[in-house]
């Protein structure tokens, strides 16, 4: 292992950390710590599985299959792969995640410092910067990894270290009354939605590794894993620190508790009068790095999908303009229309990742994977239909569908599809193997 490979791995790892670490990743951990208090370490363990390990497995799944998400999709079905990839890109791209980064920056980062600032101008400035920094795809990883991430990490590490050395209220750590801190952390980790982003970011990261001169499968795999290790370490330290700050915040738990107010309380308590400004800068940098990565991924995907008929630069410009318009609607509006859609796409993507990483090398037939994905899709659609039925006052159906979902194993961990998909995988594998043997005779 030479100095160049270490330097490249650190740079790419920093970029990967910043891509994953958006504003939501700052807001979620403190409230987990607030609720779990003395059991915060168990909560961090659960959160790390769904917010760190699962996204990293998304990158591994793509690496096993090729260089980008469509290669992973081809292992199942080429058409299904493109359809799923398009749905993911739209959800983490111009329809949901990209406008949400600008809206979050405005509502938390800008308004806390400039209460009278216009949402329109905030969106224009945010996406103006995003456009400038993402217009050249070859420079995205270097821009994020060498310049933006170190500044973000310095701010976050400073707040975490000071909060650990001088905690606000350690008396909270003696209270371990929360019934299942691991499950809370596990469920909250889904809210980062980083699993969806991981299979798309994988293409950017692998391309960056290849551009740095690591072309052979062995070298490419080694540097990608090293980069992943850097990102995992950074995420684990920051997540663990933020959960601890929440556990020692001494903030009262009320019915109208807001995550942003808790975070402001912590930053002001730890950093004093400069806390609000530091937090605003953290939010802006976290959102900006994520937005740049997502815009870059969107431009690359649709340029490839249309075989160059839509240029990368054109897609980037259209994505920034459309996202700027949607961002003005605000975070709550974006979340309201996005939640049901994401509730279907997320389980399907996670199913594909889990089975490809666990069995992708040993099971070469496509049918078992398709069976697992279809089963997950059915369960996800039942959940979605329950939501829609409740919204339009079909209460009896909604209650029946919800009761069915709750009857499935591991539904309390928000993965009711896991066991049914495993059963489907095994059954289809057995049937397919028997049919294949008979056909070959």
Tens digit of each residue's pLDDT (9 = 90 or more) over 217-256: 888 889 999 999 999 999 999 999 999 999 998 888 887 7
More confident residue, 337 or 50: 50
Is there a contact between 72 and 199 (Cβ–Cβ < 8 Å)? yes
* pLDDT given for residue 388 in this prediction: 82
With cut-offs at 50, 70 and 90, classify the pLDDT of residue 380.
very high
Find the mean pLDDT for residues 79-92.
Answer: 84
* pLDDT given for residue 175 in this prediction: 63
* pLDDT given for residue 42 in this prediction: 92
Measured torsion, CA atoms of residues 382, 383, 389, 390, in degrees rounded to the nearest 10: 160
| Per-residue pLDDT tens digits for 180-225 | 899 899 988 887 888 888 988 888 888 888 888 888 888 888 999 9
Is there a contact between 326 and 334 (Cβ–Cβ < 8 Å)? yes
More confident residue, 436 or 307: 307
Find the mean pLDDT for residues 402-406.
Answer: 92
Share of the chain above pLDDT 90, in %: 34
| Per-residue pLDDT tens digits for 94-150 | 888 899 889 888 888 888 888 889 999 999 999 999 999 888 766 677 777 777 788
Find the mean pLDDT for residues 269-279.
Answer: 84
What secondary structure does DSSP assign to 264-308, as a single string? HHHHHHHHGGGHHHHHHHHHHHHHHHHHHHHHHHHHHHHHHHTTT
Q: Which residue in 28, 19, 24 sits closest to 105, CA to CA? A: 24
With cut-offs at 50, 70 and 90, classify the pLDDT of residue 384.
confident
Is there a contact between 178 and 36 (Cβ–Cβ < 8 Å)? yes
Is there a contact between 156 and 238 (Cβ–Cβ < 8 Å)? yes
């Amino acid at each position: 292992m030479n100095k160049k490979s270490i330097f490249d791995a650190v740079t790419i790892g920093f970029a990967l950390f910043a891509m994953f670490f958006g504003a939501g990743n700052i807001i979620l951990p403190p409230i987990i710590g607030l609720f779990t208090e003395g059991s915060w370490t168990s909560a961090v363990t659960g959160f790390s599985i769904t917010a760190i390990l699962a996204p990293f497995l998304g990158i591994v799944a793509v690496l096993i299959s090729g260089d980008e998400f469509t290669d992973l999709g081809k292992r199942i079905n080429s058409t299904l792969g493109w359809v799923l990839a398009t749905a993911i890109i739209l959800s983490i791209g111009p329809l949901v995640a990209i406008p949400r980064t600008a809206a979050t920056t405005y509502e938390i980062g800008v308004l806390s410092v400039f209460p009278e600032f216009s949402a329109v101008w905030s969106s224009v400035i945010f996406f103006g910067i995003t456009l400038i920094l993402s217009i050249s795809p070859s420079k995205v990883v270097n821009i994020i990894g060498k310049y933006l991430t170190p500044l973000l990490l310095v701010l976050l590490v400073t707040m975490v270290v000071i909060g650990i050395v001088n905690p606000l209220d350690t008396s909270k750590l003696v209270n371990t009354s929360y019934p299942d801190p691991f499950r809370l952390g596990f469920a909250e980790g889904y809210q980062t939605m980083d699993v969806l982003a991981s299979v798309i970011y994988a293409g950017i990261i692998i391309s960056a590794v290849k551009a740095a001169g690591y072309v052979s499968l062995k070298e490419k795999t080694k540097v990608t894993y090293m980069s992943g290790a850097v990102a995992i370490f950074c995420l684990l330290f920051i997540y663990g620190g933020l959960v601890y700050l929440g556990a020692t915040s001494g903030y009262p738990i009320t019915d109208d508790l807001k995550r942003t107010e808790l975070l402001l309380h912590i930053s002001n308590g730890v950093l004093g009068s400069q806390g609000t400004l530091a937090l605003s800068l953290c939010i802006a940098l976290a959102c900006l790095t994520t937005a740049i990565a997502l815009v870059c991924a969107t431009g690359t995907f649709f340029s490839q999908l249309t075989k160059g008929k839509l240029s990368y630069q054109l897609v980037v410009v259209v994505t920034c303009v459309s996202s700027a318009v949607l961002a003005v609607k605000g975070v709550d509006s974006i979340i309201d229309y996005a939640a049901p859609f994401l509730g279907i796409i997320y389980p399907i993507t996670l199913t594909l990742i889990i089975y490809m990483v666990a069995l992708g090398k040993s099971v070469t037939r496509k049918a078992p994977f398709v069976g697992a994905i279809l089963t997950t899709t059915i369960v996800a659609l039942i959940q979605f239909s329950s939501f829609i039925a409740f919204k339009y006052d079909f209460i009896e159906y909604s209650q029946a569908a919800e009761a069915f979902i709750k009857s499935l194993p591991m539904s309390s961990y928000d993965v009711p599809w896991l066991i049914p998909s495993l059963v489907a995988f095994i059954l289809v594998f057995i049937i397919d193997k028997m049919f294949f043997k008979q056909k070959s005779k």
